[in-house]
Structure 1
Amino acid sequence: MQRLRETACIEWVSERFVKDEEGAATIEAVLWMPVMIALLCFAVDVSLIFFGQNQAYRVVQDANRSLSTGRLGTAGEVEQYVQANLSAMTPNATIRASVVDGMVSTVVRMPSSDLAITGMLSALMNTTITVGGRHLVEY
């Protein structure tokens, strides 16, 4: 009799275990979690790259406007101004400024790897972001 009761109890537990779907969502979430984290990291990196490009464009515009209004005197000073303002964000940037025919032109090239945090996509990290601006010299 005792043996029969133990067998019935084991069968009841095993049936309950097989039919129980309570942890099914947890397993699916665990399987999808790496994909969701990778997408989140990609979105963060792309957002930071676009933000860095926008910041560099603003600095280039400010530098060109400063030369245009006479606050800065030469193209070399424009390059120094841009380098000083971008050095914290992108230390590997290259800056070229020139004044030709009354127009100041500045071009900044910076590696995208300086701007991204995670670096999950190597193809995205091997690109160079180029920002340029031109402004009429007024003085």
Structure 2
Amino acid sequence: MTCNRKPILSFLRREHGAATVETVIWLPFFIAAFGFMVDLAMIFNGQAKVLRVLQDVNREYSVGNIASTADTEKQVLAELSKMEIWPSAASTTQVAGNIRSTVVIPTRQLTITHFFGAFASLEVDVTADMTVEYFEG
């Protein structure tokens, strides 16, 4: 029985699969980086949506379409619940002709992958200010 070593040695010296091995090694890092970017983008997107809601509701209060700060808070919570965002805190105050609404949202509600534990413990504070435009008299 003769053993021809030439094909075996030729196979071992080939470098055609080197790129595949490197890809398999780096792929988890690229997937993790992509997931991180997606979660971060979703947090910023959620923050922008909440800010828009706060600005719209503050505007309604500022022109007199909403009667009180308590009604403003209720309206903010109602609008956010339509987007399935449940804030851990919401407040509206009026001081010296300025309306300020603040909402605190856990980031775990805004992320998609929930892969990064650091995002689970963070909260996003969103605040909108508006000047009162109506005067009772």
In the TM superposition, residue 81 of structure 1 has moved relative to its aligned partner by: 1.6
| Residues 39-91 of structure 1: CA deviation (Å, up to 9, x unaligned) | 00000000000111111111111111110111111111211221112123422
Q: For residue 111 of structure 2, what is the amino acid of its counterpart?
A: A
Query: Distance between the aligned counterparts of 1:48 and 1:71, measured in 2?
Result: 32
Q: Does 1:7 align with 2:12?
A: no
Structure 2: tracts of 5 or more residues without a match: none
User: What is aligned with 1:59?
Assistant: 53
User: What is aligned with 1:35?
Assistant: 29
What root-mean-square deviation, in Å, do the aligned CA atoms of Structure 1 and Structure 2 show?
1.3
SS in structure 1 opposite 2:8?
A: helix
Higher helix share: 1
Computing the radius of gyration over CA atoms, which structure comes out larger, 1 or 2? Answer: 1
| More displaced stretch, 78-87 vs 88-97 | 88-97
> In the comparison of the two structures, how many residue pairs are matched?
133
- Percent identity reads 33
TM-score w.r.t. the length of structure 2 is 0.90
TM-score w.r.t. the length of structure 1 is 0.89
Query: Distance between the aligned counterparts of 1:86 and 1:13, measured in 2?
Result: 68
Q: Give the one of 113, 125, 133 matched to 2:128.
A: 133
In the TM superposition, residue 92 of structure 1 has moved relative to its aligned partner by: 3.6
Q: Does 1:82 align with 2:76?
A: yes
Checking the alignment, whether the CA contact within 8 Å between 1:52 and 1:89 is kept in structure 2 is: no
